[in-house]
Structure 1
Amino acid sequence: MHFEHLLQINDDSNPMTVVLSAEQLWRGLVHRAQAPQDFMEQVDHVALLHREDNYLEREMRMGNLSVIDHITFTPGQQVHYDTQPGDTHGGGSLTMTIEQPGPGALFLRVVYETPLPDTPSGTDTDDSYYVDYVKEAYRQSDIDTVRRIRELAQRGFFD
C-alpha cells in the first residue's frame, strides 16, 4: 500500500497554534526516531543497535511485537524509516520530509509503503474498510507526532 499525505505545520489563521520553525520540526523528527517512547505510549522498550552520523538502527518492542528499523537522516530535510519484516508484521517504509514552498510556509510530507495491498482483493468489502482504517490510523499518528513536537518545543526542549 502506498499512502501519502501532507500536514500543514503553521497556520497563520489560527493564533492558538504554537508556531514551529523548520529547525524545531527537524529536531522533533530526530527525537521521534531516537526516542519513540516519547511519541507512542505502547512502546515498552527501545534498544539502539547501531549508530552513525546520519543513520540509526533500533529495535522497538511493543508487547510481543518486536520491530527493527533502519533509519536514515538527511539533515534538516528528511527522516526515512525502513522497517524490517518480522514474524508478526510485513515491514515497510516511512518517509517524513520537511517542505518549505515559500516564506513562512512549513509542511510535513509523510509517505508510507507497506505490503498491504492498495486496493482490496476479491469482493470482500471488509478489506476496503481495513485499508481505510490503516490509512486513517497513520494520518492520526502523524498528527499526534506534530502535536507532541509542538508540546516539546513549547517547553523549550529544542532550544
Structure 2
Amino acid sequence: MEFEHLVEVNLLDDPAVPDLTREEVWFGLLCRAEDPRPFLPGLESCEVLTRSETALTRRLNFGKVQIFDAVRWQAMDWICFESAATAEHPSGRLTISLEQPEPDSAALFLRFAYRTGLSETAGDDAKYADYVRSAYHQSDLDTVKVVRMIVESTRTD
C-alpha cells in the first residue's frame, strides 16, 4: 500500500497559533527519531543501536512485540523510517518531507509518504486499507501536535 498527504504546520489563518520555523520543525522530527515514545502510543521503549551523522538504527519495544528499524535523513529536508517485516509486523517505510512553497514564507507543510507491505487489492489486507490510511492521517496530525509541544517547551522567549 502506498499513501501520501500534506499536513499544514503553520495555520496562517489562525494568529492564535504561533508559527514554527523550519528549524524548529526539523528539531521536532529529530526528536521523533531519538525518542519516538511521545509520537507512538503503546511504545514502551526505544533503544538506539547504531548512530551516524545522517542515520541510526533502533529497537522499538511494544510490549512483547519488537520492531527493528532504520532512520535516515537529509538535514532540514526529509527523514525516513524503514522497518523490515516480522511475523507480528508488516514491512513499512515512512518518509516525512518538509515543504515550504517560498523560502521566506511562514507557509510550511509536512508531506507524509507511506509504503507498506499491506496489499490494497488482495485478501484481508484490502479490507483494512482505508482504516490504515485514516489511522496514518490521524497519527500525522498528532505528530505535528507533538512537534509543536516540544518546540513550545524549549522556546525561551
Which residue is 2:141 aligned to?
143
Shift, 1:41, TM fit: 3.2
Maintained 8 Å contact 2:58/2:69:
yes
Letter in 2 for 1:42: G
Which residue is 1:108 aligned to?
110
Shift, 1:11, TM fit: 1.5
User: How many residues were matched structurally?
Assistant: 155
Maintained 8 Å contact 1:18/1:154:
no
Maintained 8 Å contact 1:71/1:82:
yes
- Quote the sequence identity (%): 35
Relative to the length of structure 1, the TM-score reads 0.90
Which residue is 1:92 aligned to?
92
Q: Which whole-Å deviations, capped at 9, do the CAs of 1:90-120 have from their partners, x for residues lacking one?
A: 21101000001112221000000001113x3
Stretches of structure 1 lacking an aligned partner (at least 5 in a row): none
Q: Which whole-Å deviations, capped at 9, do the CAs of 1:36-95 have from their partners, x for residues lacking one?
A: 112223111211110011110000011221111111010011101111111211211010
Letter in 2 for 1:115: G
SS state at 1:18 partner? coil
Maintained 8 Å contact 2:12/2:107:
no
User: 1:67 and 1:157, CA in 2 relative to 1: closer, same or farther beyond 3 A?
Assistant: farther
Stretches of structure 2 lacking an aligned partner (at least 5 in a row): none
CA distance in 2, matches of 1:86, 1:132: 22
CA distance in 2, matches of 1:10, 1:58: 30
Which residue is 2:151 aligned to?
153
Maintained 8 Å contact 1:152/1:158:
no
Maintained 8 Å contact 2:49/2:59:
yes
RMSD (Å), alpha carbons: 1.8
Relative to the length of structure 2, the TM-score reads 0.91
Which residue is 1:70 aligned to?
70
CA distance in 1, matches of 2:43, 2:150: 19
Maintained 8 Å contact 2:45/2:62:
yes
SS state at 1:142 partner? helix
SS state at 1:38 partner? coil
Q: Which whole-Å deviations, capped at 9, do the CAs of 1:22-47 have from their partners, x for residues lacking one?
A: 00100100100110112223111211
User: 1:20 and 1:158, CA in 2 relative to 1: closer, same or farther beyond 3 A?
Assistant: farther
CA distance in 2, matches of 1:51, 1:127: 34
Letter in 2 for 1:121: A
Which residue is 1:21 aligned to?
21
SS state at 1:113 partner? strand
User: 1:15 and 1:67, CA in 2 relative to 1: closer, same or farther beyond 3 A?
Assistant: same
